[in-house]
Amino acid sequence: MAIEINGKSYDTDEEGYLTNLSDWNDQLANEMAKADGAVLDENHWEVINFLRDYYEEYQIAPAVRVLTKAVGKKLGKDKGTSKYLYELFPYGPAKQACKYAGLPKPTGCV
């Protein structure tokens, strides 16, 4: 599979996760969201950027429980709840947000 933007093609796996981490850009994230019928606002971006930083530091996409805890610590307690994150990413915060962030599917996600 692939995503086309301005004539450039970006490879993804069969579930829509970007093949090459380094291909990622803002526009790609917006396109992926659009395909899911979503529009990214600043709250989404906060989580997406958080995930990219997390991956940069630890070389993994965190499991949802770990993500929730880490978001609470970094972005404030009110945001570190599964309710908040599921409202932003109804397909599952780890799964969906990781996809938009250009990361692989989180380890332990089925």
On the CB side of 57, CA atoms within 13 Å amount to 7
Q: How far is the CB of 6 from other proteins (least distance, A)?
A: 30
CB closer to other proteins out of 38 and 60:
60
Q: What are phi and psi of 11, to 5 degrees?
A: -70, 140
E strands within the chain?
A: 2-5, 8-11
Q: Does 77 bind other proteins (CB under 8 A)?
A: no
Binding to other proteins in span 46-65, by CB under 8 A: 57-60, 62-63, 65
Binding site for other proteins (CB under 8 A): 57-60, 62-63, 65-66, 69-70, 107-108
